[in-house]
Amino acid sequence: MSSVSPSRSGDEAIIVEEVSKVFRISTTPVTSLKERLLGMGRNHYQEFPALNDVGFTIEQGETVGILGHNGSGKSTLLKCIAGILTPSSGQVLVRGRLASLLELGAGFHPDLTGRENVFINAAFLGMPRKEIAARFDEIVDFAGLEQFIDEPVKHYSSGMYVRLGFAVAVNLDPDVLLVDEVLAVGDEVFQLKCMSRIKQFQDEGRTIVLVTHAAETVRQVCNRAIVLDHGNMVIDDEPGKAIRVFREYLHGHPPSALDPESFVESPLAIGDVRVHHDHEGSRRHVHVGESVWVDIEVTTTRRIDDAILDLEVTDNEGRILYHVDTDSLDERIAPLDGTCSLRVDIGRIGLLDGEFPINLKLIERSTGRVLDWKERATSFEVLNTTRANGTVAFDVTVRS
C-alpha cells in the first residue's frame, strides 16, 4: 500500500496515485503448457509501458475529459480507474458507486433479448434486481427501444447497442460515470439526449470522466481536461488550454518539448464570440441573402502587433465550407493590447438550411505560434426561405 497523501479534502471522487502500467508483450506467443514449461526462466517478454507515473485527483462533481491519440494510454488509464486492469505500481481510489461504459454492448449476449440483457448488464454493475425492475421502463424509454426490447440483441444495430448500454449505465444512479468514446456511435437525437443527461449529472454533482479524441466534446461538457501522450500526462488544465496542447501533439509538434509550460501561458485568449445579424431582435435565424458579422473579444497580457486571424465556417458535421486568414486577405489587424474586440464581416449568406459553426484561430505572425484556438466558437443558423434544397444558395433562373 502506498502512503496516504496528506492533502485530502474529503471531496475527492477519484484519486490516481502515481499509476504506472507496463504491459508484457510476449515476443513469441506463449499460450501452451509445453512452451510455458520449456520457456521457464527465460524472458520471452518485451515490456511496453502504457502509463508512466500518472497522478491526479478529481473532485466530486467535476467532469474531466481525457484526451489523447490512439495508443496514448487513455483507455488503459480508464480501465485502471474502472478496476478492470491492475496498475503495475501506484493505486486508484474511488468514492461511491462507479459505472463504466467502456465499449458498446460489453456484457451483452447476442442471443438474449434486450430485456434479459438489461438485467444482466445491470447485475454486472452491481445493481440489485429489484432496483433494475423498478427502473426498467425508464431505461427502455431512455434508449427508445420499446418495440425491440423483446428481440434478441443480435438483431440490433450498433446504435441501438450503445443506446441500451448508455441507458443502463446512466440509470444506475452512479456517483462516478466513466465513458469511453462510445457516444460517438449513436444518432444525433440520441447524442443530444446523452449530452443533456450528462449535463443533468453535472447539475446533480456527479463525477464524470470522458475518454475521447474528440476535442469538441471536451470543450462542450468538461470543466477540466487531461492530455496523455505515450503514457505520460502532458497537461491537466482547463479544456481550452488542454485542447490546444492536444492538437499540437496530434500534429506532431509537442509545444517546445523542453518547456511545455511556455505554450500554456499564451499571451492571448479569445473570450466572448457572438454572431450578429440585422434581424436578431425579432428572430434567431438568418434568411438566405442576409448579412452576418461576428464580434470577437480578445484579452492579451502583452501587446501583440502582428496577429493573424484564421476563420473557418463549417457545416454541422465539421466539413469546412470556407477557410481564410487575414494574411491571405491582405488585411492587417491593429495591434492588440489588453481587452479589445474584433469584428469580422462575413457578408451575405449564400447558404440554405442548417447550423453553421465557426472556428477561430489567432496566430502570431513573427513566431508562427498559435495564440488561441476555438472550435465552434459560435455558429449561425440559416432558415431556408427559398424553394430550393441543398447547402449552397445559387441564384438560378431559367430562360427559354
Partner 1 sequence: MTALDQPARRPASDQLRPMAQRRSILGHVREIFQFRELLGSLTRKELTVRYKHSTLGFLWSMVQPLFLLVVYTAVFAILGAGFPRFAIWVLCGLLVWTFASTAMLTATVSITANASLVGKVKFPRAILPLANVGSALTHFLLQSIAFAAVLVVTRHAVDWTYMWLLPIALVVAILVVSGLALLLAPLNVMARDTMHLLELLVMGWFWMTPILYQYERAVPFLERHGIPGEVLLLNPFTSVVITFQRAIYGTSEVDGIALLPDDGPLWYLGVLAIVGAVAVLILAVALKVFDRADANLAEAL
Using CB under 8 A as the criterion, which residues of the chain lie in contact with partner 1 when the complex forms? Answer: 10-12, 15, 23, 31-34, 36, 59-63, 79-87, 91-98, 100, 102-103, 106-107, 109, 111-112, 116, 119-120, 123-126, 128-129, 175, 199, 202-206, 221-223
d(CA 87, CA 83): 9
| CA distances (Å), origin 94, targets 10, 12, 127, 399 | 12, 8, 18, 72
d(CA 298, CA 266): 12
Nearer residue to partner 1 within complex by CB, 132 or 351:
132
Q: Where are the alpha helices (DSSP H) in 186-297?
A: 188-203, 215-221, 239-250, 260-264
Q: How many CB atoms lie within 10 A of CB 301?
A: 12
Residue keyed to cell 429489484: 130
CB 356 → partner 1: shortest distance, Å? 23
d(CA 400, CA 302): 63
Residue keyed to cell 424509454: 141
CB 303 → partner 1: shortest distance, Å? 29
CB 205 → partner 1: shortest distance, Å? 4
CB 38 → partner 1: shortest distance, Å? 12
> What are the two backbone dihedrals, phi and then psi, of residue 66, each rounded to the nearest 5 degrees?
-110, 115
Q: Which residues pair with 49 in a beta bridge?
A: 22
Nearer residue to partner 1 within complex by CB, 85 or 363:
85
d(CA 393, CA 288): 7
**What's the DSSP call for residue 5?**
P
Nearer residue to partner 1 within complex by CB, 32 or 341:
32
CB 222 → partner 1: shortest distance, Å? 8
**What's the DSSP call for residue 186?**
S
d(CA 101, CA 183): 9
Nearer residue to partner 1 within complex by CB, 199 or 253:
199
d(CA 74, CA 11): 24
Nearer residue to partner 1 within complex by CB, 83 or 350:
83
DSSP 3-state of 380: strand
Q: Where are the alpha helices (DSSP H) in 258-299?
A: 260-264
CB 348 → partner 1: shortest distance, Å? 32
Residue keyed to cell 487531461: 226
Nearer residue to partner 1 within complex by CB, 167 or 333:
167
Nearer residue to partner 1 within complex by CB, 87 or 255:
87
| CA distances (Å), origin 391, targets 155, 200, 350, 386 | 35, 34, 9, 12
Nearer residue to partner 1 within complex by CB, 202 or 384:
202
Nearer residue to partner 1 within complex by CB, 270 or 349:
270
CB 36 → partner 1: shortest distance, Å? 5
Nearer residue to partner 1 within complex by CB, 90 or 254:
90
d(CA 188, CA 131): 30
CB 237 → partner 1: shortest distance, Å? 15
CB 213 → partner 1: shortest distance, Å? 19
CB 24 → partner 1: shortest distance, Å? 8
Which three-class secondary structure string do you get for 311-347? Answer: EEEECCCCCEEEEEECCCCCCCCCCECCEEEEEEEEE
